[in-house]
Structure 1
Amino acid sequence: MEQDVQKFKIKHPTVEDAKAVTDLVALCDIEEIGEPDITLSDVLDMWNSIQIQTDAWIVLSSTNEIIGYGFVEVTGTSRMDTCVFVHPEYKYQGIGTLLLKKVEERANILAKGKDGEQRLMNQIPFTNNAARNLVEERGYQFSRLYERMKIELEEQPNEAHLPEGITLRSFKPDHDEEPLFSIYDETFRDAWGYTKKDYSTWISQKKGEDYDPSLWFIVWKDTKPIGFLMSRLQEDGLFIDLLGVSREFRKHGIGKALLLHTFGIAFQRKQKAIILYVDTDSLTNANRLYQQVGMRPHSQTAVYMKELII
């Protein structure tokens, strides 16, 4: 393995590498799930939230083709996330191991000085047995399964009725940022893997290249935010990034109303494909809600966890 790895060069990417990295990840997606699940904007948004000169790596072939990519991102006070990608034609040559070593070395540096346990989460296509075996050999433990769910809209959806006194409104830029963050922070405390986030960092990351405030919605009870949905347009359709409802107001049709309203906006914009990811063990049974509005599982991602040495 090590002898094979010596044929390749590993370095940190530059912004000029973003398109080639996108193409590599899309190629891996096609092999695993049959279609790309990434855009150039996704990569640029990610790179806007990490230091690529220290926290991302690319592997180059002898002809300077990008054949491997990995990164580590601090996503909370006690959590980091990583993904590693290897060109399908260059598998089993030690590239994945090389990238994982770089990721883990950097994650351990980032973890130093932090309070409490620090966890590194690694996301892998569920069907990629070789990658799963690799991370298990390196001490990761299986933690969660996420489903990629999708619907192709055939007609304009009907709006769902909300209980009396509850209203759904579009997000108002430069006005609703703090209420939006407060309802996100409240509702996602129930989610597995949640860690406290900094308001200014979180909102700046969400306002990336694909930011469209007309695709963000908040549900209000008088002046109190009780639910929200954040989505964005991608090349392959509309992606629902986050959806949450206050515990007190769950099972009142608010999540369904947010989804159907968003579906309607997407259909009007001639975006018929709607995509999202959901934890199959969601405490709120979110996957049932998505099935009720017609979404169906498309592929699965396994999340593996490793405790970092600090």
Structure 2
Amino acid sequence: MEREIQKFMIKHPIIEDAQAITDLVSLCDIEDIGEPDITLSDVLDMWNSIQIDTDAWIALSATNEIIGYGFVEVTGANRMDTCVFVHPQFKNQGIGSLLLTKVEERAHALAKGREGGQKLMNQISFTNHSARKLVEDRGYQFSRLYERMKIELEEEPGQYQLPEGMTLRPFQPEQDEETLFSIYDETFQDAWGYTKKDFSTWISQKKGDGYDPSLWFIVWKDSKPAGFLMSRMQDDGLFIDLLGVRREYRKHGIGKALLLHTFGSAYQQNQKTILLYVDSDSLTNANRLYQQVGMRPHSQTAVYMKELVV
């Protein structure tokens, strides 16, 4: 049953609000998919990429309870991303609509002076029908469906044998950063929603609280990088952030080798849960690869897009 409130206030969060925001988003996740899909480190990592005093907002109830949260992040030369969350017991009171207005106003301000068409992507749980209707009514168009995939390891996986001349090695800090970025930039041009990023911004975003180079790996063909995987340990499991293989080296088992090696690293650290997100319509059939190594769809996220007219 929804609680009635007389008023709510919108303001920017401060760092001390991070745990309360994590708790709020967890409540939304539980309602949508049955379990939390966020940790405190996720929130802090996100805040490493945005200015919370201009690009994030919270809604406070009359008793100062955080009942809403939203943010906007510049994620590429022509793209921004946003998510808005409203406490399950405070829905249908205009909180989500007001937060989305704040997001869009800020996105338009950020878009001014930027070249090319600017797009705002809004990510919503597929089962959250009221939120999907809200953005549809505001002119967003459905663009993509992402699957959250998961595996619970019951035993340590075996390694996949790479073709002759290929080796899998751990990422070397202060040595492999630019190599890693060059592989990412090349391989993710095939991904939907790709926009060009500069090296310094990209690597700084990947060095948040979850940064752990022991969970990053590169496959080499002789002296040339062929593929990479970046993951991080979270409270709810090991999350695979990025996986890419250069076009000329695809269909050689590189992706499978990287996944199984990462699974083994997680298992040795007593982490049995592996998670990732994948585009349901991936041009490289990535979801089929993940199914081959035992991962299964767990929930879905709808991505809506809006062109920013500046």
Q: Specify the TM-score bucket, using the shorter chain as the normaliser.
A: over 0.9
Residue 235 of structure 1 corresponds to 235
Residue 158 of structure 1 corresponds to 158
1:134-145 pair list within 5 angstroms:
134-145=134-145
1:157-236 pair list within 5 angstroms:
157-236=157-236
Say if 1:24 and 1:66, in contact at 8 Å, map to a contact too. Answer: yes
SS of alignment partner, residue 75 of structure 1? strand
SS of alignment partner, residue 41 of structure 1? helix
Distance 1:221 1:105, change over 3 A: same
Say if 1:58 and 1:68, in contact at 8 Å, map to a contact too. Answer: yes
Residue 99 of structure 2 corresponds to 99
One-letter code aligned to 1:73: E
Q: Which runs of 5+ in 2 are unaligned?
A: none
1:223 positional shift: 1.7
Deviation per CA, 1:17-61: give whole Å up to 9, x if none. 001001000110111111111111110111111010000000000
SS of alignment partner, residue 243 of structure 2? strand
Give the structure-2-normalised TM-score. 0.98
1:224 positional shift: 1.2
Report the Cα distance in structure 2 between the residues aligned to 1:154 and 1:198, rounded to whole angstroms.
Answer: 40
Residue 306 of structure 1 corresponds to 306
Report the Cα distance in structure 1 between the residues aligned to 2:176 and 2:151, rounded to whole angstroms.
Answer: 29
Residue 123 of structure 2 corresponds to 123
Report the Cα distance in structure 1 between the residues aligned to 2:165 and 2:254, rounded to whole angstroms.
Answer: 12
Report the Cα distance in structure 2 between the residues aligned to 1:135 and 1:5, rounded to whole angstroms.
Answer: 24
Residue 42 of structure 2 corresponds to 42
Say if 2:5 and 2:62, in contact at 8 Å, map to a contact too. Answer: no
Q: Which runs of 5+ in 1 are unaligned?
A: none
1:221 positional shift: 1.0
Say if 1:5 and 1:94, in contact at 8 Å, map to a contact too. Answer: no
Distance 1:5 1:109, change over 3 A: farther
Distance 1:28 1:307, change over 3 A: same
After TM superposition, the runs of 4+ consecutive aligned structure 1 residues lying more than 2 A away are: none
Q: Percent identity?
A: 80
Residue 14 of structure 1 corresponds to 14
Give the superposed CA RMSD.
0.9
Say if 1:76 and 1:196, in contact at 8 Å, map to a contact too. Answer: yes
Residue 72 of structure 1 corresponds to 72
Say if 1:83 and 1:122, in contact at 8 Å, map to a contact too. Answer: yes
Report the Cα distance in structure 1 between the residues aligned to 2:262 and 2:168, rounded to whole angstroms.
Answer: 11
Establish whether residue 258 from structure 1 lines up as the match of residue 255 from structure 2: no
Say if 2:6 and 2:62, in contact at 8 Å, map to a contact too. Answer: no
Deviation per CA, 1:86-144: give whole Å up to 9, x if none. 00000010100000000000000000011110000000000111000000000000000
Residue 62 of structure 1 corresponds to 62
SS of alignment partner, residue 21 of structure 1? helix
Establish whether residue 147 from structure 1 lines up as the match of residue 147 from structure 2: yes
Report the Cα distance in structure 2 between the residues aligned to 1:49 and 1:133, rounded to whole angstroms.
Answer: 29
Give the structure-1-normalised TM-score. 0.98
1:5 positional shift: 8.6
Report the Cα distance in structure 1 between the residues aligned to 2:116 and 2:7, rounded to whole angstroms.
Answer: 40
SS of alignment partner, residue 188 of structure 2? helix
Say if 2:146 and 2:301, in contact at 8 Å, map to a contact too. Answer: yes
Say if 1:19 and 1:40, in contact at 8 Å, map to a contact too. Answer: yes
Report the Cα distance in structure 1 between the residues aligned to 2:276 and 2:235, rounded to whole angstroms.
Answer: 14
Report the Cα distance in structure 2 between the residues aligned to 1:302 and 1:261, rounded to whole angstroms.
Answer: 30
One-letter code aligned to 2:283: L
Say if 1:5 and 1:95, in contact at 8 Å, map to a contact too. Answer: no
Distance 1:186 1:140, change over 3 A: same
1:210 positional shift: 1.0
Report the Cα distance in structure 1 between the residues aligned to 2:5 and 2:135, rounded to whole angstroms.
Answer: 18
Deviation per CA, 1:160-202: give whole Å up to 9, x if none. 0001001100000000000000000000000000000010110
